[in-house]
Amino acid sequence: MNLMILIGLVLVGIVHALRGASYLVLSRSGATTKLRPILPLCGVFLCIAGLIDGWSAGLPVPVGYAGGEGGLALGPIGCLFSLMLFAIAAWSDADEPADPTAGWRDLRVSAILLSLIAGDAFLLGCGACLAALLPTRLLGRRAARNGVLAAFAIVGASVLLCAPAAPFGSLLADPGFALLREAGGSAGPLLPLLVVGAAAPLLGLWPTQGGFRHRCAFAPPWVALSGALLGQFLLLRFLLDLAGPVPSAWWGGALVALGLFGALRAGVSALDDRRAAGVVGRVLALENNLFVVAVGFCLLARANDLPVLSGTAFDAAMLLSPAVLLGGLAALGLVRAMEREAGSGLLSRLGGLIRSMPFACALLAVPFLLLAPLPPGDDFSALWLLVQVVLAAPLPAPGGVAVVALGVLALLFAAAALAAASLLRFGWIAVLGRPRTPRGAAATDLAPIAARRYAPVLFVPAFAALLPGGWLFMASGRAGSDVLLGGEGPRHPLVALLAPVGNGMLAPLPIALLLALGVALAALLARSLNLRAERTAPVWEGGAAPPPPWLPFGDPATQIAPATLGLALRQALDLPAWHPSGRLSSWLGASQARRWSAWSRQGAVWLARVLERRAPLVAMLLFGFGLVLAASGFFDMRAPR
């Protein structure tokens, strides 16, 4: 059965690739268009069959690297991510034939599928490199640079993994996962650096958040979300699966620090972003950074031999994943549809869309509730699990570690609050209030049939939100057996999440039912109070004159603008500007501040120029340096066999 599923997935991948090539080379043909709705659905059904059927110990098929144990293998984690990949592909397919990027999308789906069902590092690296490089054609030089850097980092990480398993000169002798798992844990600090380097542009980690936001704002939604899927998979596969059972605790600590910093930065930027899709992109970057934090916790717990905590952190990552990938896809798709209808992506041009697009706005509330860490969404559950991991960690006597744990806890809460505030601001400006342009006022709503397109995408995160135990049984119970290498989290019941230590419990479905009961009672109360007929009146403008004829949608000064929240916050904090030069001059004096400011500006310009013009060269130099270090055994810290 497993062999059949794997062969089916390979066939789907091949047909996808052929279809993509036919789009690009031979232009569209009727034959390929007919296959359009069937292909991703076939993939979805195969993945569901794989998840339900289960497996005993993977299924290596020697169709890849000759002579080794590698090739293609149907693993639980690959199957789970393939399911989400095909869901993204199925959603994006609905854009055809208007979507001119369909060929690139099909090719990328095939490449990502290859890395998901790879059984050795060679195929994994090939698939991931292709997937990282393919959409760069759509996005210009900046994305091309990020794609090239990510591809080099993936190759470097793959080679580093293989290096300890084979002597220098025959690096790819046997890159099968079985051997790599056995020989893992010896790649030193360069491996996580390279993996993070590969995943950073895909996930929007610092310092590449701008690129991720750019993809969300300007590229088709599948580009950013399929990239994020690949980035999440690479982190899990490289760092949790192939890097060996006992990684260094520093890897985990560094990932947690990077993720928290990136999450806060993304949250603060989202509060001030001027584009609608940019806000969503920043929030998705924030969630991706929380995913990195969860992986970091997993590594930290595993390094300290705490399998239950490691499993709980993995559960949190598995709850974040569908919310970000599928909920984010729906959110981004709806926001882009609103932008198209309103004729602009700038928040200052949007407004009052709930009047012209009520169905789209109501639909948008679902992914926003999933993305904002509000109960009973997946993100809230994931955050709850992360908090439980910190609380259950065995900390030494009072001191630095406890203070660091306290800081981590506070930063997690702060990141969640920033995500919620960013989505609140989006709702104020784009959805509520009065229309700001005639085109926005005359926007056409989505047809209710469009719900057919969004419902399947939102089903998985909604299922994971309400029945987290059921989702984690598939995701962590099965995929965790692939990735956690013996570690296991608490066995959650179907409708609840359990804390790793103590009696703590979070039950989203009962909370949702309680909320539904509360809404019903409150609605009944409101109805019983509304005994008299309602009267409508013009909006009270504080005595000001009604809007003049040349401002039919109201005076912009009387509406909330995109910059209003940022300005109010700066005013409250008494900050003259975001740029710190004002503070700098008060500390150093005006002339010194000007000099330091000029130096730093020149340095930044030089660095940007070097990176822009010499990116492949820098990447190759880094890659070669890492290769030499790895092959020389510099980072080989395992005991000799």
Partner 1 sequence: MNQLGLLALGSAALVLHVGLLLLATPLMAIGAEGFPALRSPAAWRGWLAQPFLRLATLASREPVRSEGASPVPRLAPILSLACTGCAALLVPSFLRVMLDWPLADLALVLALLGTSRGCWLFAAADGGSAATGLAAIGATVDALLALPGLVLSASVLLMLSGGAGLDAMLAGQRGLAAPGALACVAGLGLGALASGGREAALSQALSGPDLALFRLETGLRRVVWIDLLGALAWPGSVAAAPSGPLFWLSALLCWLLRFGMALALFALLSGPLGDPGLRRRLAAFSLFAALLGPILLLAGQSAE
Exposure letters 107-146 (e unless 16+ CB within 10 A, then b): bbbbbbbbbbbbbbbbbbbbbbbbbbbbbbebbeebbbbb
Convert residues 573-612 into a mask of x (bound to partner 1 by CB under 8 A) and - (unbound).
Answer: x---------------------------------------
Convert residues 240-269 into a mask of x (bound to partner 1 by CB under 8 A) and - (unbound).
Answer: ------------------------------
Backbone angles phi, psi at 469, to 5 degrees: -65, -40
Distance CA 430, CA 106 (A): 33
Q: Give the up-direction half-sphere exposure of residue 367: CA atoms within 13 A in the CB hemisphere.
A: 28
Regarding 308 and contact with partner 1 (CB under 8 A), the answer is no
CB of 365 to partner 1, least distance (A): 10
CB 307, CB 486: distance < 8 Å:
yes
CB of 237 to partner 1, least distance (A): 31
Strand 497-498, strand 505-506: pairing: antiparallel
Distance CA 139, CA 60 (A): 37
Q: Would you say 98 or 572 has its CB closer to partner 1? A: 572
Identified binder of partner 1 from the candidate list 31, 449, 572, 639, rule CB under 8 A? 572
Identified binder of partner 1 from the candidate list 506, 627, 630, 631, rule CB under 8 A? 506
Identified binder of partner 1 from the candidate list 354, 584, 588, 620, rule CB under 8 A? 354
Q: Would you say 58 or 510 has its CB closer to partner 1? A: 510
Identified binder of partner 1 from the candidate list 505, 551, 598, 607, rule CB under 8 A? 505
Q: Give the up-direction half-sphere exposure of residue 455: CA atoms within 13 A in the CB hemisphere.
A: 5
Regarding 504 and contact with partner 1 (CB under 8 A), the answer is yes
Regarding 501 and contact with partner 1 (CB under 8 A), the answer is yes
Stretch that binds partner 1, among 200-208, 327-335, 351-359, 607-615 (CB under 8 A): 351-359
Question: Please, which of residues 447-476 interact with partner 1 by CB under 8 A?
Answer: none
Regarding 493 and contact with partner 1 (CB under 8 A), the answer is no
Stretch that binds partner 1, among 84-92, 118-126, 166-174, 420-428 (CB under 8 A): 420-428
What tokens were used for 560?
């909330």
Q: Would you say 367 or 433 has its CB closer to partner 1? A: 433
Q: Would you say 442 or 525 has its CB closer to partner 1? A: 525
CB of 552 to partner 1, least distance (A): 13
CB of 310 to partner 1, least distance (A): 19
Q: Would you say 173 or 560 has its CB closer to partner 1? A: 560
Question: Please, which of residues 27-66 interact with partner 1 by CB under 8 A?
Answer: none
Regarding 441 and contact with partner 1 (CB under 8 A), the answer is no
Backbone angles phi, psi at 72, to 5 degrees: -105, 145
- Find residue 120's DSSP bridge partners: 176
Q: Could you report how far apart the first and last alpha carbons of the chain are, in Å? A: 37
Q: Residue 502, Cβ neighbours under 10 Å: how many? A: 10
Q: Would you say 360 or 507 has its CB closer to partner 1? A: 507
CB 45, CB 69: distance < 8 Å:
no
CB of 414 to partner 1, least distance (A): 5
Number of residues that bind partner 1 (CB under 8 A): 78
Regarding 552 and contact with partner 1 (CB under 8 A), the answer is no
Regarding 556 and contact with partner 1 (CB under 8 A), the answer is no
Identified binder of partner 1 from the candidate list 94, 139, 414, 629, rule CB under 8 A? 414
CB 136, CB 159: distance < 8 Å:
no
Q: Which stretches of 140-185 are DSSP H helices? A: 141-162, 177-183
Distance CA 281, CA 274 (A): 12
What tokens were used for 410?
């506070």
Angle among Cα 477, 483, 487 to the nearest 5 degrees reads 65
CB 376, CB 465: distance < 8 Å:
yes
Distance CA 351, CA 434 (A): 6
Identified binder of partner 1 from the candidate list 424, 450, 615, 629, rule CB under 8 A? 424
Angle among Cα 222, 120, 114 to the nearest 5 degrees reads 25
Q: Would you say 135 or 562 has its CB closer to partner 1? A: 562
Stretch that binds partner 1, among 57-65, 104-112, 222-230, 349-357 (CB under 8 A): 349-357
The sign of the torsion formed by the CA atoms of 48, 51, 56, 57 equals positive
Stretch that binds partner 1, among 24-32, 144-152, 284-292, 559-567 (CB under 8 A): 559-567
Q: Would you say 417 or 590 has its CB closer to partner 1? A: 417
Pick the closest to residue 155 from 116, 192, 115, 124 (CA basis).
124
Question: Please, which of residues 507-546 interact with partner 1 by CB under 8 A?
Answer: 507, 510-511, 514-515, 518-519, 521-523, 525-526, 529-542
CB of 547 to partner 1, least distance (A): 11
Angle among Cα 236, 240, 242 to the nearest 5 degrees reads 100
Q: Residue 543, Cβ neighbours under 10 Å: how many? A: 5
CB of 448 to partner 1, least distance (A): 17
Query: In which element (H, E) is residue 626 found?
Result: helix 615-631
Regarding 405 and contact with partner 1 (CB under 8 A), the answer is yes
Identified binder of partner 1 from the candidate list 54, 210, 253, 375, rule CB under 8 A? 375
Distance CA 258, CA 262 (A): 6
